[in-house]
Chain A
């Protein structure tokens, strides 16, 4: 009775013959739409894109509406964590609306992320671009907020329309955040 002998998964292992690579499996791709600008909603998209890149999966990120804050030079270092109207926070709205609560909650979240060595938003954007992820801003949202390419981080490749985004995400799994 022999134990099971396994081969590496198709995603990782190209077909080989006599040690030479003869065929590669199709590349996986993920396309993320980041539409929120609070600190707690910025990270899911960025971390998912990074995890995809770490696994060799191509990643395209489309920042739209409040998601533009994540890539706007003046705002990306100051994203906040809302304590009002957020049932997951575990505190009543009347308490959450007191002055200083949002700042305190944001500061606590940043400290917890630093303890786990999770980089700040700006550094995550730089890492994502270096790893080959494509970052784009939504044209409609940029026009609404009167933002131009110079207002965004240098890692943002271009301002594109939603139709362009669908062209770029051909064959990709689309995730809306």
Chain B
């Protein structure tokens, strides 16, 4: 039996990855994509299925808004931005994403977790 894999450089941890569209894409320890450009529809669908979120038209509207807002502001929008600028009422966001709209919407949109707690 082979010994467990060693890191090549002393102290360097290899990042987790997933297979997406035939290529290896890096993620963080929780499965958030490290690079927003690696996102595609298939990632959103398979992640949504894993998390038990049935994707509807309204979910896609939130995801599209998240990706557009990320380009404008440089980070995933928190629920307040989604409500204030995206027009998605807070109650609806929590119904669409019961596991927490901040983290889930960002994950499904291929973005890192939002950097703000509102």
Please give the residue numbers on chain A whose beta carbons come within 8 Å of chain B beta carbons, in ascending order. Answer: 1-9, 12-14, 16, 19, 21, 24, 47-48, 50-51, 53-57, 116-119, 124, 127, 130-132
Contacts and interface: CB of A to CB of B under 8 A. Distances in A.
A21 B102 CA distance: 22
A157 to B, nearest CB: 16
Contacts of B114: 54
A21 to B, nearest CB: 4
A105 to B, nearest CB: 22
A127 B47 CA distance: 27
Given A6-B29, A119-B80, A132-B94, A12 B16 contact: no
B100 interface: yes
B80 A55 contact: no
B12 to A, nearest CB: 11
A123 to B, nearest CB: 9
A54 B51 contact: no
B118 A118 contact: yes
Interface in B85-99: 89-91, 93-94, 98-99
Contacts of B1: none
Contact of B117 (A2, A19, A51): A51
Contact of B18 (A5, A16, A51, A57): A5
Contacts of A8: 30-31, 47, 50-51
Given A8-B50, A8-B51, A14-B52, A127 B117 contact: no
B71 interface: no
Contacts of A53: 94, 100
A54 B102 contact: yes
Given A50-B118, A51-B117, A56 B52 contact: no
30 contacts: A1-B5, A1-B8, A3-B14, A4-B16, A4-B17, A5-B16, A6-B31, A7-B31, A8-B30, A8-B47, A8-B50, A9-B30, A9-B31, A12-B104, A12-B107, A13-B51, A47-B118, A51-B117, A54-B100, A55-B102, A55-B103, A56-B98, A56-B99, A57-B100, A116-B116, A118-B118, A127-B80, A127-B118, A131-B90, A131-B91
A130 B18 contact: no
Contacts of B18: 5
B52 to A, nearest CB: 4
Given A8-B51, A53-B100, 18 more contacts: A4-B14, A4-B16, A8-B47, A9-B31, A12-B103, A16-B52, A47-B118, A48-B117, A51-B117, A54-B78, A54-B79, A54-B117, A56-B103, A56-B104, A116-B116, A117-B84, A118-B118, A130-B89
Contacts of A19: 49
Contacts of B104: 12, 56
A77 to B, nearest CB: 18
